[in-house]
């Protein structure tokens, strides 16, 4: 197993593996989709497919756009832990990423986080932003919704737009072509100031 001195290497390795998988599967439109599992309020697992929106600047945190009215936001508010399962069909690589999720929405008071939310909003396509104007998710359809939604492209995020920041704490990587598996694990340093990453090669 790697020591704490190899922290940077451990992070660089799983980031490099993920970057390589994204690049080799880039011609497949769905390669940017992954499954995000959370825990429902009733204690049962909940899973759905979301879109990778990149990494938070200056960190290894994964960004996900969503609607704050969805069940997943309610679930994360109740229990902030989740797991990503990401499979790349072309290269036969799977990433299971376990971690804690931070919610940034219109009620957030931290100005730096609100700036991140705004940047995520404008980085999204107009069609993606229009999704935030649709009727409340999961409620019965009383009438067919109008498809004629209007949104000024220069206007900032609407209240329903929410940014999820997924902070990885463990990365389980397996390559089914080469039959190789690595386990990357993060823990707090002795002074709690930084995360220490370690990794080991394990049986597939």
| pLDDT value for 191 | 62
Domain housing 46? 4-134+159-202
Residues ≥6 apart with Cβ < 8 Å to 8: 197
| pLDDT value for 8 | 60
CATH number (domain holding residue 172): 2.30.110.10
| pLDDT value for 146 | 61
Does residue 183 sit within a domain?
yes
| pLDDT value for 125 | 92
Does residue 141 sit within a domain?
no
Residues of the chain with pLDDT below 70 are 1-8, 144-148, 189-194
| pLDDT value for 5 | 39
Does residue 171 sit within a domain?
yes
Does residue 97 sit within a domain?
yes
* Total Cβ atoms within 10 A of residue 112: 8
Does residue 165 sit within a domain?
yes
| pLDDT value for 3 | 39
| pLDDT value for 2 | 40
Does residue 145 sit within a domain?
no
Does residue 150 sit within a domain?
no
Q: How many structural domains are present in the chain?
A: 1
């Amino acid at each position: 197993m790697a020591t704490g001195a190899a922290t940077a290497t451990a992070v660089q390795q799983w980031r490099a593996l993920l970057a390589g998988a994204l690049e080799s599967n880039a011609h497949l439109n769905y390669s940017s989709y992954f499954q995000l599992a959370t825990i429902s309020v009733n204690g049962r697992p909940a899973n759905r497919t979301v879109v990778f929106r990149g990494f938070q600047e200056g960190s290894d945190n994964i960004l996900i756009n969503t609607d704050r009215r969805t069940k997943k936001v309610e679930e994360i508010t109740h229990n902030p832990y989740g797991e990503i399962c990401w499979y790349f069909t072309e290269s036969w690589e799977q990433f299971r990423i376990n971690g804690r999720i931070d919610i940034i929405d219109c009620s957030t008071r931290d100005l730096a986080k609100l700036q991140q939310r705004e940047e995520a909003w404008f980085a999204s396509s107009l069609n993606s932003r229009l999704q935030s104007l649709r009727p409340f998710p999961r409620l019965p359809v009383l009438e067919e919704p109008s498809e004629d939604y209007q949104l000024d492209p220069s206007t900032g995020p609407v209240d329903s737009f929410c940014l999820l920041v997924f902070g990885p704490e463990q990365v389980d990587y397996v390559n089914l072509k080469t039959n190789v598996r690595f386990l990357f694990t993060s823990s707090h340093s002795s002074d709690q100031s930084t995360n220490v990453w370690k990794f080991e090669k394990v049986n597939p």
